[in-house]
Structure formats: C-alpha cells, structure tokens
Structure 1
Amino acid sequence: MAVKVYPNIYKQEIPLPKNPLRAINSYIILSEDRNLIIDTGFNTEECKKSLMDGISELNIDLSKTDLLVTHLHSDHSGLASDLSKEGVRIYAGKIDGKMINQMIYREYWAKYEAYMKMFDLEKDNVSFEEHPGYKFSPKEPIDFIPLEEGNVLKVGEYSFEVVDIPGHTPGHIGLYEREHKLFFCGDHILDKITPNITFWGFDRDILSVYFNSLKKVYQYDIQLLFTAHREIVRDHKKRINELLSHHEHRLNEVKNIIKENKMTVRDTAANMHWELRYDKWEDFPSAQKWFASGEAMSHLEHLAYTEKAQKTDEDGILYYKLNN
C-alpha cells in the first residue's frame, strides 16, 4: 500500500525477500505534469509486483512518469530497465549510471574474483554469482539521463536540487527540496541501521569520502529525511552524529583486531561484531560474507591511508597490522 507521507508524496514499501534489509522505501511524487518515482526494488517478480501495485493504486500514467535512481545498488536500480520499456525516463548520477550499465556484463564482476583472492575469501568458497548486485541488477542497458550536483528536477510544487553524496557508492546522489526542507537520501543515512560502506578501489579512502558527505548533509536545513530503508528521519543531525560515532567505534574495533598480529580482510571481518542472526562466521551466507569483508576492507584501508596501519601483499592476499 502506498502511504502518504507529505502532500503529493507517497512511500511504497517494497519487500526484499530473504534479505536482511527486509524492504526498500520507494517514493512516488505526484504532479499534474510528470510524476517522479525514486528507487525501485530488486529485479525480481516480487519487487515488480509490489512497485506496480503502488503505481496502479495511485493511478499513475507511466508515460508521464520519471524514475530517479539514487545509486547503483540493485535494490534501488533493479527495475529501471522494466520501467524504461514502459516509457519512463530514467535519471541517475553520472558515475553510478555508468556503473549500472557496466554491471550488466560479466567483465564487471571479474574484479570480484580478484577481490575473493585479495580478501582471503577463497577459503570460504564464495562466489560473486551469489552477490545480490549480480543476481538482481538490470540485465539490459539503460539510456540514463545523467545528473550532477546543482541540476534541478521540478515536480509539481517541488523543486529538487541534485546533491552529490558519495560514500555508500562512488556516485550516490540525493534530492534536496529547499523550500519545504525535504531530503531524499537513498542509503546515505538510514534510521536504526547503518549504511554499508564497502571497498571501491585503492584510488580513494572511501570511508573519508563518506564522512565528508555526512558532514556536508549535516549543514542542510532539513525537517524530513526520506530514507530508503526503515523509517523517515526527523533529526538528521542527531542521526549523522550517531553514524559518525558508529564508525569511530568500528575503527577502534578493527584496530584492536589487528593490534597484535597481521590479519587478512576476511579474518578481520570474522572477528568484528555484526547485528546478524548468525552465531559464527561459518554460518554467514555468501552474500553477507561479501558485505562484511567489504566493510572491513573500507575500515582497514582508512587506517592504511591515515598511516595508522601497514599493509602487505603476500601471494595476492592482503594483510593489515596496526602501526606501533
């Protein structure tokens, strides 16, 4: 059921079966001219039915509707290709839009085979084919309309400014409505749970990138922060402080893990605390081992970038140890 959360703005909660996130909030903004949908759910029949039920309930004409994909993850972009076939114009940030189209091809996922070795995940017999990004992403190229910071999307009485908020992904974007003090933030800030900050390559300290994006949004005048998972946030500054504190705790946890002995990414992740229903690392599903290792890696790389830890490569496997 589409729930009205603000004048002409509805939230459609789309179930994500067998996923710890449980559901994604897709937002639908109505106007007499063109409507706007924000994020879609996985490329699965269950998600498609839920999204289309909300569209039907609101009596939306898809030929007069646009879709904005906040970032590349498949729970946000999965149905973009399907909607495009229905005549929907598709918007995405320049960086993540390009990456979504790259994810169609197995060549993109070849780097995950390299990560498997680098993270020391080969001993767990994981496969990128179990990664939700591979399983549930669009399977056909999408003719995105690229967006960048400062672009404006007008939807009825609302004027949404595009804001670059990288960190959760390299090209994550959000929408800010200055007059009404509304911000659609995708996975940049979440209520109750913390966004996964993973490894995106050695060319950047992605955790520092994320911190800077959090501090950027902190300065905005926001009354309602529309998140992609769980509940709407009404005090974004309080939540941002909580997220920064969470990562400070995480970094201290990782420091303690690599304090005495050099550790692989996989073994660091296995020793971290996770809010999951599994008692031990061996019980983690393949997808969760990918997510946990990616988050461990972003924190380890941050410590290496800030010269608090040293990194060594031994036969293609990375080891980290805290500097004395």
Structure 2
Amino acid sequence: MAEQIEAGLWRLDIPLVGNPLKNLNSYLLTGERNLLIDTGFRQDPCREAMARQLQEIGADPDRTDIFLTHLHSDHAGLAPELIRPGCRIFISGTDLPGLEDAMSPERWRRMYREYERNGFSPEETALLWCGNPAQNAGAGQWDPSLYTALADGAELTYGGRRLRCILTPGHTPGHLCLYEPERRWLFCGDHVLFHITPNICRWSGARDSLGDYLKSLERVKELPVERLLPAHRAETGDLRARAEELRLHHLRRLENALDIVRRRPGLTAYDIAGEMRWSIRCRDWGDFPVTQKFFAVGEALSHLDYLEVRGLVERRTEREHDVYFAADGGRITQETYFK
C-alpha cells in the first residue's frame, strides 16, 4: 500500500522478491506534473506493485516524469515500461552511458572475464549469467530518446518544490541525490542507507570508487536535512550521524582487508573477500550464494583499489590472476582516509 508521508509526497513499497535488499522505496511527488523517483526491477512483482500503488494514489501516468537516482536495475529496470509519450526519464549524464552499457551482453562478458581474473571460477560466472538480477532485471532495450541527462546542480520543479541534484559518486559513478532546501528533504537513493550499508564496488573507468564514495559522504553530511528518504528498507534517521557510521564501517573494512593481505600475501580478491567479515546468514564463504559473492568481491575490489591508490597494497599478475601483497607496511589512519 502506498504511504502518504506529507501532502504531495508518497512512498511506494516495491518488493524485490528473493533479493537481500527486500524492497525499493519509490517516491512520488504530486502536482500539476508528478515525479516518480526510482522504479524497481523489470520483474512482475515490481511491475504489479508499482501499477497498484500508482492507481491507489490516482497518479496520471501521462503527467508523470521519472527520476533515476542511478543506473542499477532495481532502480531503473521498469522506467522504459512506465514512461508515457511526452514524459521524461531523468538520470545523471555520468550514469547514462553506463545504463546503455548495462544492456549489452558484451559488457557482461567483459565483466565476468574480469571477475575470473580476480578469482571466480568459470562455473560461477556461468551461474551469474543466468541468475544475476543486476544483469537480467534491468531495462529490456535501449531507447536514448527516453532519457534526459542531468548535471550536478541541475534543478527540477514539481508541485511547487524546487529540487537540486547533488552528484554523489561512489555507489555508481553518477549517483544523484535530490535535495529540497525549503522543506529540507533529501532523496538519497543508495548513497545513505540504514540497517544495511550501500554496496561500493569497483567500476570500470573509476580509479577509486570507495574514495569517491567517502568524499561524497562528506559532501552531503552537513546539509540541513529534516527528512531523509533512502531507497531501501523502512529505517531512516539522522544524516550526519549515519554518514559518520558509514565512514567508520569502511575504515574497519579497510583495516580488515589490509590485515588479510599482510597475513596471507598473494591472494586474489575472491580469496580475500572469503576471509573478510560480512553481515550475512551463511556458515562460511562456500555457503554464499553466487550473486552475493559477486557483490562481496566487487566490494573487496573497491577496498583493495583504495589501499593500492594510497600505496598500502601492491597488485601483481601471476598465472593470469591478479593477486595482492602488502606494500610499505603502513597502516590506515585518519590522515590516510582523507587523502
């Protein structure tokens, strides 16, 4: 059921069936024209929940534009099906090429070859090809005429509300938050989540995704925010406090990864991820579902990239695999963190 948060602001609960994220919070701003923020997977449970709740609200699809906080399929997958002629889908200019690329089978072949280089077996990547919702539940076809690219600082106006785009790279290279300064609302997508932490993985073309993410946390944490509107789960809270919790979470994860590399030099990212600490109900690394291994190794890679950029680990190629060694014996400090 759609939940009215304030006059003209609704939260739609979109189920992500079989996914650890559990749900997507899609938001609708109503007025002369409506703005729908994020859409869900291109899957029947998302499709049906979205249609039912938009009907409950009485939203006219012919007057509804869509804003995508980022390119991930749980946010962007349904957008081309929902959009009507004369309406627009907004996404950052940085994420727009990646959205097109995500619809290319060759892009996924390249990615899985890269993951095999980092320790995945061909059998595991074959399973991913069939069962990875990041690959299989996104938009079904590419139509560039549907999308309008937005830059950092761009403004949108819906229902008399002026919304400013804030570029927050990290979770994806072009993740956007939407800030309403008068009411002090922040639609934060996957940049700031509660109970769970945003997945920060390695991105092609980004040298240091985790470093980008940490800088993006610093960018938003002092904003005057009275209502923080995250994309997943029911939990919300204080922006500044949660940003600090997320910073410390990644500091601990960096220390964990560096300790593993020092104790066991020459491991792949896959093996390092297998020894890292994760909040998941599995007995051990072998018990992880392959899709969760995919996200865990992506996160391990972003932390190893961060350490490599700062001269704390060294990446080498041995027997067609990337493996890691401690570099200068340094340690993670507050000073390292902010470089």
Per the TM superposition, whether the score is higher than 0.5 is: yes
Alignment match, 2:8: 8
Alignment match, 1:242: 245
The offset of 1:53, in angstroms, is 0.8
Alignment match, 1:284: 288
1:87 & 1:23 partners in 2: Cα distance? 29
Query: Bigger CA drift: 313-322 or 158-167?
Result: 313-322
What is the CA deviation profile of residues 68-100 of structure 1, one whole-angstrom value per residue up to 9, with x for unaligned ones?
010011000010110125664211111212211
Matches within 5 A, 1:89-100: 89-100=88-99
Runs of 4+ in 1 over 2 A off after TM superposition: 84-88, 123-128, 231-234
Aligned: 1:297 with 2:298 = no
Percent identity over the alignment is 35
Query: Bigger CA drift: 122-131 or 279-288?
Result: 122-131
Unaligned runs of 5+ in 2: 330-339
2:112 & 2:22 partners in 1: Cα distance? 28
1:9 maps to amino acid = L
2:209 maps to amino acid = I
Alignment match, 1:182: 185
What is the CA deviation profile of residues 188-247 of structure 1, one whole-angstrom value per residue up to 9, with x for unaligned ones?
000111000001136411111000000000121111110001135331000000000000
1:316 & 1:218 partners in 2: Cα distance? 42
1:85 & 1:152 partners in 2: Cα distance? 22
2:88 & 2:243 partners in 1: Cα distance? 32
Alignment match, 1:233: 236
Conserved? CA contact 2:195–2:235, under 8 Å: no
Conserved? CA contact 1:62–1:86, under 8 Å: no
Conserved? CA contact 1:71–1:93, under 8 Å: yes
Query: Bigger CA drift: 268-277 or 199-208?
Result: 199-208
2:14 maps to amino acid = I
Q: What is the TM-score of this pair, normalised by structure 1?
A: 0.96
Matches within 5 A, 1:20-99: 20-31=20-31, 33-85=32-84, 88-99=87-98
The offset of 1:273, in angstroms, is 1.5
Q: What is the TM-score of this pair, normalised by structure 2?
A: 0.92
What is the CA deviation profile of residues 262-292 of structure 1, one whole-angstrom value per residue up to 9, with x for unaligned ones?
2110001111111111111112111111000
**CA root-mean-square deviation:** 1.4
Alignment match, 2:112: 113
The offset of 1:101, in angstroms, is 1.6
1:213 maps to amino acid = S
Alignment match, 1:258: 261
1:206 & 1:169 partners in 2: Cα distance? 8
Alignment match, 1:138: 139
Unaligned runs of 5+ in 1: none
What is the CA deviation profile of residues 49-79 of structure 1, one whole-angstrom value per residue up to 9, with x for unaligned ones?
0011111001111110000010011000010
2:315 maps to amino acid = K
